[in-house]
């Protein structure tokens, strides 16, 4: 039975942002603090919901649990500013990354912010590709990541399956698809959640949820100590997919052994602890976030290798933190 504490578990926008959500500073008026006028929405977005070092640690751990090596080729679908892909090529000297996104402006911002921080060698290993994730083939990746729920934009089962099939074709045999998802009873409510971050407040606003279609309309707003706001800095018109639907569709697309990594809970506060472990039973809490990891079979049809067999028998994944 769920305890009161687990019912209080809170969702931030991203699994990787759970550590960030515990950073608290009082929102006070002070000279030199951010205002809506002086702020950049992409920078605030990254500060609020992305943490590439945690994402990379998770992807490497999930890969190592199944295969006895580290992954080198990352394909980041919906890469946006390419924050995670750039961190990937910086992380190991042999790492390569493909960042795919439709939005030229967002990628241009990312190239200016993260691309310019790369060495000449790292630049050669980072490919920025403007394109639709469904129709932009690349070298098959060890890990294909679709994070911050970006694939929720596919609102029908057929649309989701089409994307998962495309993802399947862009992953090596013996590679992984890493996604995230959120849910919990609060996600079906028209509410706004806020988190105080370093000099600004992040607001996750669920404007609409339609229980008949599963469609959800969310916005991210930012509020500043001087009272100014960046309203609707980002808007997401999504389908709120359940973990069961996602896992079923992954299998339909050809993936095997989809596994859910559920976040642990800090007993004292009832909040997520930022550590994701492989679980088959989750808590029916108000808000949760989770990773889903699915395997592309080593060759052709489903094949359980010695390594993946022993990995499957291993207890829940260790934390990379
Ligand atoms: C929620 S943001 C994700 C940014 C980043 N990956 C993250 O983890 O926060 C979604 C991104 O998906 C891009 N996008 C939407 N539809 C797409 C498509 N069909 N193909 C490629 N990119 C797409 C948008 O331009 C946007 O940058």
Share of the chain above pLDDT 90, in %: 81
For a ligand 1 pocket test, name from 16, 85, 101, 216 the mutation site with the most ligand atoms within 8 angstroms of its C-beta.
101
Statement: residue 301 has pLDDT above 50: yes
Residue owning tokens 């980041």 = 76
Q: Which residues pair with 189 in a beta bridge?
A: none
Query: Which residue did the predictor score with more confidence, 280 or 301?
Result: 280
- Is 300 found in the same domain as 277? yes
Domain of 134 in residue numbering reads as: 46-181+241-313
The reply to whether 103 and 221 lie within a common domain is no
C-beta 48 within 6 A of ligand 1? no
Please indicate, yes or no, if residue 205 is contained in any of the structural domains: yes
Pick 277 or 25 by higher pLDDT: 277
Q: Which of 204, 221, 239 is the last residue of a domain?
A: 239
Q: Is the CB of 102 under 6 A from ligand 1?
A: yes
Point out the ligand 1 atom lying closest to the alpha carbon of residue 78: 12
Within this chain, do residues 157 and 288 fall inside the same structural domain, yes or no? yes
Condensed to tens digits (0 to 9), the pLDDT of residues 191-245 reads 999 999 999 999 999 999 999 999 999 999 999 999 999 999 999 999 999 999 9
pLDDT tens readout for residues 54-110: 999 999 999 999 998 999 999 999 999 999 999 999 999 999 999 999 999 999 999
* pLDDT confidence of residue 68: 87
Q: Quick one: 66 and 162 in the same domain?
A: yes
The domain boundary residue, chosen from 239, 257, 282? 239
Whether 23 shows a pLDDT value over 80: the answer reads no
**If you measure from the C-alpha of residue 133 to the centroid of ligand 1, how many angstroms do you get, rounded to a whole number?**
9
Instruction: Output the CA angle 273-279-285, nearest 5 degrees.
Output: 55
From the number of C-beta atoms within 10 Å of its C-beta (0-12, 13-18, 19+), residue 65 rates as: buried
- Token pair listed for 270: 């009832």
State whether the beta carbon of 97 lies less than 6 angstroms from ligand 1: no
The reply to whether 32 falls in a domain is yes
CA of 149 to the centre of ligand 1 (A): 9
- Does residue 150 line the site of ligand 1, with CB under 6 A? yes
CATH assignment of the domain containing 262 = 3.40.50.150
Domain total of the chain: 2
Does residue 320 fall inside a structural domain? no
What token pair was written down for 137?
């083939």
Q: What is the pLDDT of residues 169-186, one digit of tens each?
A: 999 999 999 999 999 999
Q: Which atom of ligand 1 is nearest to the CA of 76?
A: 6
* 262 shares its domain with 133: yes
Claim to verify: residue 148 and residue 176 sit in the same structural domain:
yes
Closest atom of ligand 1 relative to the 107 alpha carbon:
27
Residues contacting 294, CB < 8 A, separation 6+: 176, 177, 179, 247, 250, 255, 256, 257, 258, 259
* pLDDT confidence of residue 15: 61
Which band of pLDDT confidence, cut at 50, 70 and 90, is reported for residue 2?
very low
Q: Are residues 207 and 193 in the same domain?
A: yes
> Would residue 218 count as lying in a domain?
yes
Q: Are residues 207 and 292 in the same domain?
A: no
Instruction: Indicate which residue's Cα is closest to atom 9 of ligand 1.
Output: 148
Taking residues 256-269, what's their average pLDDT?
96
Q: Which of 239, 256, 277 is the last residue of a domain?
A: 239
Structural domain includes residue 154 = yes
> Has residue 19 been placed in a domain?
no
In a domain, 15, yes or no: no
In three-state form (DSSP H/G/I as H, E/B as E, the rest C), the secondary structure along the chain is CCCHHHHCCCCCCCHHHHHHHCCCCCCCCCCCCCCCCCCCHHHHHHHHHCCHHHHHHHHHHHHHHHCCCCCCEEEEECCCCCHHHHHHHHHCCCCEEEEEECCHHHHHHHHHHCHHHCCHHHHHCEEEEECCCCCCCCCCEEEEEECCCHHHHCCCHHHHHHHHHHHHHCEEEEEEEEEEEEECHHHHCCCEEEEEECCEEEEEEEEEEECCCCEEEEEEEEECCCCCEEEEEEEEEEECCCHHHHHHHHHHCCCEEEEEEEEEECCCCCCEEEEEEEECCCCCCCCEEEEEEEECCCCCCCCCCHHHHHHHHCCCCCCCC
- Ligand 1, atom 12: closest residue by C-alpha: 78
Q: Is residue 318 part of a domain?
A: no
Q: Is the same domain home to 104 and 66?
A: yes
Q: What percent of the chain has pLDDT over 70?
A: 83
Residues 155 and 193 in one domain: no
Residues 92 and 116 in one domain: yes
Residue nearest to atom 26 of ligand 1 (CA): 80
pLDDT over 70 (residue 29): no
pLDDT band at 299 (very low <50, low <70, confident <90, very high): confident
Our mutation pick for probing the ligand 1 site, out of 16, 74, 78, counting the most ligand atoms within 8 A of Cβ, is: 78
Residue pLDDT, tens place only, 34-48? 999 999 999 999 999
Query: Ligand 1: which residue has its CA nearest to atom 22?
Result: 101
On whether both 223 and 105 belong to a single domain, the answer is: no
């Amino acid at each position: 039975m769920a305890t009161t504490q687990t019912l209080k578990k809170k969702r931030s926008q991203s699994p990787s942002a759970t550590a960030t959500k515990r950073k608290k500073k009082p929102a006070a008026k002070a000279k030199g603090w951010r205002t809506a006028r002086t702020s950049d929405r992409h920078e605030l977005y990254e500060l609020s919901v992305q943490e590439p070092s945690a994402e990379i640690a998770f992807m490497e751990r999930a890969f190592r649990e199944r295969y006895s090596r580290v992954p080198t080729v990352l394909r980041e679908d919906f890469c946006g500013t390419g924050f995670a892909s750039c961190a990937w090529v910086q992380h190991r000297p042999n790492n390569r990354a493909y960042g795919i996104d439709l939005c030229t402006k967002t990628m241009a911002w990312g190239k200016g912010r993260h691309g310019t921080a790369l060495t000449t060698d790292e630049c050669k290993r980072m490919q920025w590709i403007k394109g639709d994730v469904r129709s932009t083939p690349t070298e098959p990746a060890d890990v294909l990541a679709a994070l911050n729920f970006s694939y929720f934009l596919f609102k029908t089962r057929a649309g989701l399956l089409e994307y998962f099939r495309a993802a399947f074709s862009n992953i090596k045999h013996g590679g992984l698809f890493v996604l995230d998802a959120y849910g919990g009873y609060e996600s079906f409510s028209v509410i706004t959640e806020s988190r105080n971050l370093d000099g600004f407040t992040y607001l996750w606003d669920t404007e609409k949820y339609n229980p008949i279609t599963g469609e959800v309309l969310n916005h991210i707003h930012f509020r500043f100590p001087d009272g100014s706001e960046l309203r609707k800095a980002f808007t997401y018109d999504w389908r709120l997919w359940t973990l069961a639907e996602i896992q079923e569709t992954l299998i339909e697309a050809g993936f095997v052994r989809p596994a859910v990594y559920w976040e642990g809970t800090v007993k004292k506060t009832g909040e997520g602890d930022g550590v994701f472990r492989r679980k088959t039973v989750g808590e029916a809490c108000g808000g949760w976030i989770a990773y889903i990891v699915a395997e592309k079979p080593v060759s052709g049809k489903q094949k359980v290798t010695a390594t993946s067999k022993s990995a499957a028998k291993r207890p829940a994944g260790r934390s990379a933190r």
